[in-house]
Structure 1
Amino acid sequence: MTTLEAVFGMASTLAFFSWLALFIFYPRKWIYQTLFSGVFIVLALTYLFYITQGLGGNSEGGFGSLAEVRALFHSDEALLAGWIHYLAFDLFVGMWISKDAWEKDINRWIVLPCLILTFMLGPVGLLTYFVIRAIKIKKLNQSPFH
């Protein structure tokens, strides 16, 4: 197994167990502290390491077209960094969903499909939670801060 494959496996496993812990312990403040101060730091530093390698000085590509973005992630290091980016940000969204659901007294079993969808399909899980949240607070126009 290559180093990149090992890092991919470790990051994915860390994210999976973080999601599991988030669901089990979501009403406990220490889970958010652990995820923010531990898991996010590990994922962010790993991301930083591989994105600097993957998008080093001679990398081609940019953000102006799909072809340019594809070229940016042509190296395995950049692709791994992109995966870690997804893992970290989807977990952050899952933490927000969990905390918001807890504050709004939405049953964790109703939130579970939202978390699974966020873990697997990112924005689809967040959209699902927004629908559930709108039903709970009886307000279609929402803000993440209310």
Structure 2
Amino acid sequence: MKLELIFTIVNTIAFLCWVFLFALYQKRWVYQLLFSITFVILGIAYLFFIIRGMGAGTGGNFDSLAHVRLLFESDEALLAGWIHYLVFDLFVGMWISHNADQRKINRWILFPCLVLTFMAGPAGLLLYIIIRVVHSKKWIQEPFSNRFTS
């Protein structure tokens, strides 16, 4: 299968999951679908392409930006890197949606957070954290519900 087709497929899967996350974030099955099926499928694709791409012997490593760039010289490694972003941004979006639902934050206030997380992961998370601070009127925030606190 051509890499461009796989790129299109994983992007489509991720986009549809974001639509489900926004439209149906109060439904438990959405989280089960994402966690048990979508993340597994994308994780397998990631492993396949990262092994193929990183096995190309580019000489890259993580000690400098130039060496990290070398890691992504092959199209397989670049596709794996893209899948990595898709999965982790979607996971963050899943956490944001679930957390906002627990805190009764309006879905339309949540919408810009999810769009920004989809497009620029950490910026969307930052926006959600700011919204949580304003909503709760507390600067110090717990990442999980009260059942995890001591």
TM-score of the two chains, using structure 2 as the length reference: 0.94
In the alignment, structure 1 residue 78 sits paired with structure 2 residue 85? no
Structure-1 separation of matches of 2:119 and 2:56: 33
Offset of residue 57 of structure 1: 5.8
Partner of 1:95: 94
Offset of residue 60 of structure 1: 1.4
Structure-2 separation of matches of 1:138 and 1:21: 29
Task: Give the gaps of 5 or more residues in structure 1.
Answer: none
Q: Does the Cα contact within 8 Å between 2:56 and 2:74 map onto a contact in 1? A: no
Offset of residue 59 of structure 1: 3.1
Displaced runs of 4 or more, over 3 A: none
> What letter is aligned with 2:137?
K
Partner of 1:13: 12
Secondary structure (helix, strand or coil) at the match of 1:52 reads helix
Secondary structure (helix, strand or coil) at the match of 1:122 reads helix
Correspondence list, 1:17-96, <5 A: 17-56=16-55, 58-96=57-95
**Matched residues, number:** 145
TM-score of the two chains, using structure 1 as the length reference: 0.97
In the alignment, structure 1 residue 145 sits paired with structure 2 residue 147? no
The share of aligned pairs that are identical, in percent, is 57
Task: Give the gaps of 5 or more residues in structure 2.
Answer: 146-150
